[in-house]
Amino acid sequence: MRLSFQQAGLFARDLDTSQSVADEIASRAAEETNASTNRVHARSSIGIGALGGGRRADARWDAFAEQAGASFQGSATAIRLEALKSARKQRLRRFAFFDAQGAQIGQCAVLVGNPRNRILDAIQLLPHAADCWPDAMMAMLRAIGSGRYFYGGRWNKDPARTACIAALPGVCLESARPMFVQGVNFSRWPDFDSYWKKTSENVRRNARYALERNEGIHTERLGWRAVLTNLWALCSLKAASLDKKGLQEHAIHRARRLIMTVLTFRDRTDLQIARDGAGGILSFQLNVRFGRETYYLEGGQAAGATGANWLLFREVLRDAFARHPDGHFLMGRFEPATHDEEVGGGLYRSRRSLRVDDHEIAEVEFSYTAE
């Protein structure tokens, strides 16, 4: 798949977001909202405007997304990739939300079309405007109109919105899929050493074991291009880890996923490896950084390299902690309703051993009828 993000027709031209235009948008939206019986919060007035594409617009989008605490799936490049995948059936619309003074307080991206309108990642709001979420959702629904909708990102810590969505005027809830995104919350500890001491003894012992059993073992951080130059080695390590768990995956799928990750996120990609004294790669970890958060996407360990993955985890977590002591290291979702202990029990226990927190989220399907 060619990763050209210059698909004309997917995006409108950039909205002029000067103060005068923003003030006009907010004023007009305030008048419409005051006259509407569908007001959710009488105290707030939310203006909404369309956002276009382009390199500068994408840079502004990402800067705002990071401030709002969006996940990497809410970044401009991730959104464009989703739009390309669905280009035949859906078109991308991006919106900005404004307060009564014309200041931008939020944004969201929606794939509009069949079989349903999909809100990508989450409605991204600045922390001080978090209470405006229902108003922002209603403004977006009115802008798009009647239809079926899907809301919920699997990496975003945006809290479960099931009850809030069900209470919106004109909305009929169809289904909700509760789950948790799990991650280490660094703000719970004063420093990294204090955190590491609270991980399980088994984790710390295995990390020490790797140092004792693998002469010259050390960790390195490599640029995103190293994923491409070491693709075969990384795929082999991933395969070894899957074999140990009794799982299988086609090598082409592994390679494609790694390639797509690094080409999509480029400099946000963080590849770290553990090498032995002879230069061989014993384990690897591929993460994506966005805002204050680090997201664990892929990892693998050579057969017989006991503890190398835990040693690498220690250094990756140390680095993430140092960059953002108020951030998170997010490791993926946990879905109680579909959890199979035979398949996912080991993964769940390993996350618990690193003292993850559970952030309750939900995927919600609903229909909206405009009045």
Report DSSP letters for 156-223, one per residue: --PPP-HHHHHTSTTEEEEEEEEEEEEEEEGGGSSSHHHHHHHS-HHHHHHHHHHHHHSTT-EEEEE-
Percentage of residues in the chain with pLDDT exceeding 90? 76
Can you give the pLDDT at residue 343?
Answer: 59
Q: Within 13 A of 96's CA, how many CA atoms are on the CB side?
A: 27
The arithmetic mean of pLDDT across residues 142-153, rounded, is 97
Percentage of residues in the chain with pLDDT exceeding 70? 87
149-183: pLDDT as tens digits:
999 999 999 999 999 999 999 999 999 999 999 99
Can you give the pLDDT at residue 168?
Answer: 97
Can you give the pLDDT at residue 16?
Answer: 33
Q: What is the mean pLDDT of the chain?
A: 86
The arithmetic mean of pLDDT across residues 332-359, rounded, is 84
71-89: pLDDT as tens digits:
999 999 999 999 999 999 9
Confidence label for 8 from pLDDT (cuts 50, 70 and 90) = very low
The arithmetic mean of pLDDT across residues 221-250, rounded, is 89
Confidence label for 284 from pLDDT (cuts 50, 70 and 90) = very high
**pLDDT at residue 358 above 60?**
yes
∠ CA(175), CA(157), CA(63), 5° rounding? 120
pTM of the model as a whole: 0.85
Confidence label for 1 from pLDDT (cuts 50, 70 and 90) = very low
Confidence label for 12 from pLDDT (cuts 50, 70 and 90) = very low
In degrees and rounded to multiples of 5, residue 290 shows phi and psi of -150, 120
Distance CA 200, CA 203 (A): 5
Helix or strand (DSSP H, E) at 260: helix 251-265
The arithmetic mean of pLDDT across residues 215-239, rounded, is 94
Can you give the pLDDT at residue 241?
Answer: 86
Distance CA 196, CA 100 (A): 46
**pLDDT at residue 20 above 70?**
no
Residue 49, strand partner residues: 96
Token pair, residue 181, equals 């995104």
Tally of CB atoms within 10 A around 178: 15
For the ranges 40-49, 126-135, 195-204, 348-357, the lowest mean pLDDT is seen at 40-49
The arithmetic mean of pLDDT across residues 32-56, rounded, is 60
Q: Alpha-carbon Rg of the chain, whole angstroms?
A: 22
Can you give the pLDDT at residue 15?
Answer: 30
Helix or strand (DSSP H, E) at 20: helix 19-34
For the ranges 254-263, 320-329, 338-347, the lowest mean pLDDT is seen at 338-347
**Angle formed by the axes of helices 231-244 and 251-265, to 10°?**
120
The arithmetic mean of pLDDT across residues 99-120, rounded, is 96
The arithmetic mean of pLDDT across residues 325-348, rounded, is 83
The end-to-end CA distance of the chain, in Å, is: 42
